[in-house]
A and B are shown apart, each in its own frame.
Chain A
Amino acid sequence: MPLAGLPMFDMLKTRMQWHQARQRVLSENVAGADMPGFKPRDLRQPDFDGAARGPGPVTLVSTQGGHLPGFAGASSAATAKSGSFETTPSGNSVQLEDEMMKVAQNQMDYQMATSLYAKSLQIMKTAIKRG
């Protein structure tokens, strides 16, 4: 049985890809913090309902008619405009503090996913070790 086919590893892989894609979106937000008219974005959480029963293909969701198809293989979750409570006169609504919190959160969750992945690999190794 290939390792990649196990639902546990597939879910962790999707999760890690989601965190990587989110890191890109967050770094776009921070880089554009002083650009006039820039609106911060965030990624929607991947949906794991039913993933435990059997992994299905994860596809991009376009919620509006004007949405362009994403970059091939770039992310497995759709980008969503995040609501913000303050907009500067230049039309920029990036809160650097918020974004830094999100970056830290993203980093921690990613660390959790990679730790879980490593632990799962360890369990596999324990299972195949000779007694």
Chain B
Amino acid sequence: MSKINILFRNFFRLTTRNYIFLTSLFVFFVAEFSLSTLFDLESEVQFALIILGMFIFSIINTTTFFKNDQIKNRYIKQKFSSYWLYSFVELLFLIVLNLFVALVVYFLSFIVSADFSFMLISVLGLFATGLVGSSIAWIFKFQWNASLVSKIFGQIGLIVVSFLALVNLDNFLKYIIPPVGQFVNLSLSKSSNAGFMGMLAHQIIFAIVLFLAGIQLNKNNFTK
């Protein structure tokens, strides 16, 4: 338990002392505030834009987290020896981080609803979107190794998959691409709670699959 505690505190320090996280969070808040006060947008459109923002925010910050982890935690990893425990704590940290950001982002969006279940689904939807973003960044974690080919392939791959995530398809392909665009479309179409629940489950399952794939894919590069 103390190992998990030590590592979790390390990740917390790594993230909060990194200017990108705090700056991008602040920019997100400013953008939300601008949406609600300067532009006369419907709440569905506002929420759709917040979903996009959450997705981009989680990709950028998870990518930065992995980059800093690769540089600053090299020798901690050498001491840690258990790749699975280390990955578990990374995953736990990303879950907590995305949940925190989802809560803060939702309540600072001023999209207030009397329906508690709708509010809950909205927060969970943002959380799940954040998890999808983090899981995509995890797949391309190998780009922070020394190889130039890895870096190029990783950067291009991240951009391509992120773009695919925002595409909204109606055929079978919608089940194999990250469902962020579908969630945005659902928000704009004023779907029911049941519709949102289905999308929420789809996003979480997708994130879990990508996390597991990312953990396996990056196993050989643990301390390198």
> Real complex partners, A and B?
no
List the interface of chain A (C-beta within 8 A of B): none
